[in-house]
A and B are shown apart, each in its own frame.
Chain A
Amino acid sequence: MLDLARPLTLSTFDPHRVDDLSDAELDALSSGVICLDEEGTVLRYNLYESRLARLDRNQVIGRNFFTEVARCTHTGDFEGRIRAFAARGDAVEVERFDFVFDFRFGAQNVKVELTRAADAPRFYLFVNRTSAGGPRPAIPVAQLAAQQRDLAPDEARRGVIRDELERRVVDAPAPLFAALRATCDRLAPETWQLFATEWGVQWGRRTAVDLEASVLESGGRSLREVPMSEVARLVSSYLSERGWGSPFFDFAHTTEGLLVVELERSALAEATPRPPRLNRTPDDDLACHIVAGCLAGILSSVAGRRLAAREVSCVAGGAPRCAIVLVAHGRRAAVDAALGEGSRGIEPIRAALRRAPRAVDSVG
């Protein structure tokens, strides 16, 4: 199983399995991954690489990596090594070297691990950043890596919006999420909590990758290594700056294995009609599953273990504030059972967890 909390290295991961990793698995890594064919055409390009190169992979895939995407690699020290590696056939499984990626926005020191797919002419580059800084003054513009606007110069006129880090964004009004829930209520109402939470977890894993990149760019090494207060600030600001409300971490019950996050002014809660609708499902009064899942995805990455998050009270159900609890994944059944019986709020969930027997799958 991949350890998503730590950068992937071919010292601990079987190079022969690289080609078996799904795109979703590659996107959950805090390491850049680039797959090239023998000519240097980009075949795969993961989320972390896209984030740190500030390039949209939709414009990167299919282009020549050395001459169109990362012109700073069009050198003997990089392209030459890869071509020589390719020419050596199966003689060498992994080659490692250090390099400096030069972008207009700055330089990144990287450690590159190069390997080949087991049974196809494809090559994988694992790129682990060791530091990021400002642009190196002596590098000619022609040798800098491409910018997003080089690859897609007129995209703004074609309905493409990007944020300050060149990620494509969509201006999604909060009623979009109310419409999503209304659709689910109509078609498969029993699935909403499961669907929305898992959607949030997937989002949270990608957000953790994003936050890892932010930490690296601000001079740190990894989310796991920065102080707990800084991680709480990063996560709270990340969600607030994107309009989801204001998360507040409460460590008061952590001795019981319970981390509480209160969510003020939740966009999801405020987009949900009040008072609660017809209570057609047991959790009809809870609206913030997506944010709960996101928190589980992020904090699981930092904790190095699988956590589950459940909203236990919600403004949409008339509570004074939204509250989310994070527990070991194996203890989620006890929380779900209490919620299913109608318990709401932190104290009833604490009591239910104290009564609950130890879950057999609680580790991991």
Chain B
Amino acid sequence: MSAPPDAPAPPRRVREVITKSEDEYIRGASAETLARPAGEILESLPWEGPAPDADALPAAAFLSWL
């Protein structure tokens, strides 16, 4: 069943490896932030949105945040 160890391997689809510089794939955060573990960064983002601004939100919307 096994192929001989020195048998030529069938052709493989080898992708071109793309080496991107940082300014080609990310912006908007400090180097210190981007150096922190990804799980820690993404867990700490305020995904629910910022704290509501009582002066800017309609009263009903503001109350729904409380």
List A residues at the B interface (Cβ < 8 Å).
Answer: 5, 68, 141, 146-147, 149-151, 153, 155-156, 161-164, 169, 171, 222-233, 236-237, 240-242, 246-257, 259, 299, 302-305, 307, 327-328, 330-331, 353-358, 362-363
Q: Which residues of chain B have C-beta atoms less than 8 A from A151's C-beta?
A: 1
Q: Which residues of chain A have C-beta atoms less than 8 A from B41's C-beta?
A: 228
30 contacts between A and B (CB under 8 A): A149-B3, A149-B7, A149-B9, A149-B10, A162-B12, A164-B12, A222-B39, A224-B37, A225-B38, A225-B39, A226-B37, A227-B38, A228-B34, A228-B35, A229-B22, A237-B17, A237-B18, A240-B18, A240-B20, A242-B15, A254-B28, A254-B29, A256-B46, A257-B50, A302-B42, A303-B42, A304-B43, A354-B49, A357-B64, A358-B64
B29 touches A225 (CB 8 A): no
CB distance from A298 to the nearest CB of B (A): 10
Q: B48 contacts the other chain (Cβ, under 8 Å)?
A: yes
Interface contacts beyond A156-B11, A358-B49: sample of 5 additional A-B pairs, CB < 8 Å, sorted by A: A164-B12, A223-B38, A233-B26, A236-B24, A353-B49
Q: How many A-B residue pairs have CB under 8 A?
A: 169
Q: Which residues of chain A have C-beta atoms less than 8 A from B37's C-beta?
A: 224-228
B1 touches A163 (CB 8 A): no
B25 touches A164 (CB 8 A): no
Interface size class of B (residues with CB under 8 A): 35 or more
> Interface digits, B23-61 against A, CB 8 Å rule (1 contact, 0 not)?
011111100011111111111011111100000111011
Residue in A147, A224, A237 whose beta carbon sits within 8 Å of that of B39 in the complex: A224
Q: Name B's interface SS.
A: loop
Q: Which residues of chain A have C-beta atoms less than 8 A from B26's C-beta?
A: 229, 232-233, 236, 248-251
Report how far A141 CA is from B5 CA in the complex, Å.
8
B33 touches A228 (CB 8 A): yes
B11 touches A252 (CB 8 A): no
List B residues at the A interface (Cβ < 8 Å).
Answer: 1-3, 5, 7, 9-20, 22, 24-29, 33-43, 45-50, 56-58, 60-61, 64-65
Q: Which residues of chain B have C-beta atoms less than 8 A from A355's C-beta?
A: 57-58, 61
CB distance from B31 to the nearest CB of A (A): 8
Given A233-B20, A242-B15, A251-B28, does the pair A328, B47 have CB atoms closer than 8 Å?
yes
A228 touches B38 (CB 8 A): yes
B2 touches A356 (CB 8 A): no
Q: Which residues of chain B have C-beta atoms less than 8 A from A236's C-beta?
A: 20, 24-26
For B9, the closest partner residue in chain A by CB is: A149
Report how far A256 CA is from B29 CA in the complex, Å.
14
B36 touches A303 (CB 8 A): no
B28 touches A252 (CB 8 A): yes
CB distance from B40 to the nearest CB of A (A): 8
For A144, the closest partner residue in chain B by CB is: B5
